[in-house]
Structure 1
Amino acid sequence: MLHYSAFRLHMTLRLWLLFSLITSCRAEGKPPSPVVRKYLAEVVDIMQANSINRKTINWVEFRQNLLAQASDAQTIEQAYPAVVSAIVALGDKHSAFVPASPVKGPQAPADKQPPVYPDEPVPGDIGYIRIPWVVGNQQKMDAYIAHVQAQIKERDKVELKGWLVDLRGNMGGNMWPMLVGAGPILGEDTLGYFFTSNDIKTAWRYEKGKALLDGDAQAEAANYYTLKSANPVVAVLTDTLTASSGEAVVVAFKARKHTRSFGAGTCGVSTSRSRFYLSDGSVLLLTTAVFADRRLVPYGHSIAPDELCKSTEVVTRAIRWIREEYKAKK
């Protein structure tokens, strides 16, 4: 047992050590500056109003955690890592943050882009078209549409039993030129929908060479093509790299008559992003809707193929099914 004086000395030392620890922690972790706090409030306000997961997030805790992540940040640039953490915390796996100022550390080359897979050789009674990823300005979008529809026109024959639509390796970009490019095979119809967290749905449609969003043209072909044989049998090929806008095309083929998918499940970001500009010029690419097919079935996750196949078997099995379905259709 400690003597009373020794006990008081012991407790005084413990309290001094505890106070020193607290004050040192405070010194190391200053609260974010008023400018940073205002900026982070702007970020969270946008997220809370628009995120597809807004109804499942505890926003009080979310704001507290974000401020803790931004501890010591005195400038907006110093708060960027906290914004990135908030993007991850949304849990939708598709939102992104594009800072106005470069983030310190190694950066990927600005011109580095994913590869485009080569076309597959197919028999003469099978049509084939690859729908690759696409990004860029209006000129690139127009060139993309013209190229894809020109390939379809070149390969189209009355005697075709069906088409292979290859979406493997399509990592996304802009879905509208993809839908126009594939339009001759998709056919004129409502192709799918966006579903927001507010239960608002907007329809996508292909009609006369145009991709429409609730009736407004998003992309169009200068000279659109129509197949020699309408409503063909279609096999859609997917893999784990089929993502985002590539998944939108997968959804567009869902529930289409005489259509079946082959390969592997898609990446799992079958969602739509909206662009929000922040006060410093940075951009939030925020997931605001999930894709739904023409039957109004929502996705927002990996899309499983109708037939799971090894990569070495995909084309063979798809062609076999096309020929069987063509016979049955006749």
Structure 2
Amino acid sequence: MKRLRCFGLLFFVVTSCRAESRLPSPAVRNYVEEVVCILQANFVHRAAINWVVFQQNLLAEARDANTIEQAYPAVISAIVALGDKHSTFAPARLVQESKLPPAKQPPLYPDEPVPSDIGYIRIPWVVGSQQQLAEYMTRVHAHIQERDKPELKGWIVDLRGNIGGNMWPMLVGVGPVLGKDTLGYCIDANNTKTAWRYEKGKALLDGDIQAETAPYYTLKSANPVVAVLTDTLTASSGEAVAIAFKARKHTRSFGAATCGVATSRSRFYLSDGSVLLLTTAVLADRRLVRYGHSIAPDELLKPAEVVPRAIRWIREEYRAKN
């Protein structure tokens, strides 16, 4: 929290020292007030910030702005000053452009070869339309069904390279391996806890369906041994899936620590069409252990060591379990 209490020391000190008596235009002042009201009401670490000072320094940073668009750099600086790696500001022009299909998508990692007694499923990042999300869930369940057999000693769930996107199709996809259970919580600034769980092809948030696939697949052997693989690119929703496996019986994680944005964001539209993607909750596991930071694996390993070690552990744990 020390970093949050500083909340952008450079931003505030520099702008305060150079602030002049003049103020930005009335339109910009109204816009700044709109931004600060949203942040103050919803930011997950709002209690760590002096909002009067925050607004004064945002106005000072925007003092030369006559239009809302000219105030964008000041708003971006203020978001950085929150000290949160997950919150972002998207100007109206970029919001409009984002409706078009992106020219280039991040890469998808290939599957790893594993022995016949080990199940393997990669859970990649996912964004897209409802149809694309539905196809994703169907595809992941089909891969699990294809690789499932009674003699498996356990499963590898590979989250390496999962940069995030939409966590709900991911939870539905890996649901047959996770099993029916409460998987974690979102905890907001008011300490309100909202549970998320998987059951029968559905991902639920406080009982409301967020994503589902039908028909859904059920493993031939319930409650399997599971090795979870992560790396520094495992981020956001990818980290949510890693958290979903925390405290699950017969489960262990391997690889590298995750990116460190294990938080939940909400979308807020501003009056000019710009968007604040604001961190409004931290993610917690089924024991209510909070994250919001990089998640270390149970075993920190070099890339070449990860899969062989995970296979050895699954076989050891299977023997101990049975």
Alpha-carbon distance between aligned partners in 2 of 1:248 and 1:74, rounded to the nearest angstrom: 42
1:67-86 → structure 2 map (5 Å cutoff): 67-86=59-78
Q: Which amino acid aligns with 1:301?
A: H
Deviations 1:265-311 (A, max 9, x none): 00000000001111111111000000000011110100000000001
1:33 Cα deviation from its structure 2 partner: 0.3
Match of 2:160 in 1: 168
- Alignment pair present for 1:61 and 2:53: yes
Q: Which segments of structure 1 move beyond 3 Å, counting only runs of 4 or more?
A: none
Partner amino acid for 1:36? Answer: V
* Cα gap change, 1:79 to 1:298, in 2 (>3 Å): same
How far the C-alpha of 1:68 sits from its partner, in A, is 1.4
Q: Name structure 2 gaps, 5 residues minimum.
A: 1-18, 96-100
Shift of 1:30: 5.2
Counterpart of 1:36 (choices 13, 24, 28) is 28
The code of the aligned residue for 2:84 comes to D
Residue deviations 1:132-156 (CA, integer Å, cap 9, x gap) = 0000110111010001010000000
Contact 1:77–1:101 (Cα < 8 Å) also in 2: no
Q: Establish whether residue 140 from structure 1 lines up as the match of residue 108 from structure 2.
A: no
2:219 corresponds to which letter in structure 1?
L
Residue of structure 2 equivalent to 1:186: 178
Q: Which amino acid aligns with 2:201?
A: G
State the Cα distance separating 1:223 from its structure 2 match.
1.0
Match status 1:217 vs 2:190 = no
Query: In structure 2, how many angstroms separate the alpha carbons of the residues matched to 1:93 and 1:64?
Result: 23
- Structure 1 residue 69, shift from structure 2 partner: 1.3
**What are the Cα deviations for residues 222-270 of structure 1, in whole angstroms up to 9, with x where unaligned?**
2100000000000000000000000000000000000000000000000
| SS of residue paired to 1:312 | helix
CA offsets 1:58-89 (integer angstroms, 9 cap, x no match): 11111111111112111111111111111111
Larger Rg: 1
CA distance in 1, matches of 2:141, 2:94: 39
1:260 is paired with a residue whose SS is strand
* TM-score of the aligned structures, taking structure 1 as reference length: 0.89
Deviations 1:81-103 (A, max 9, x none): 11111111111110011111259
- d(CA) in 2 for partners of 1:223, 1:73: 55
C-alpha displacement of 1:111: 2.3
Partners of 1:102 and 1:247 in 2: CA distance: 26
The corresponding residue for 1:288 is: 280
Give identity over the alignment, percent: 77
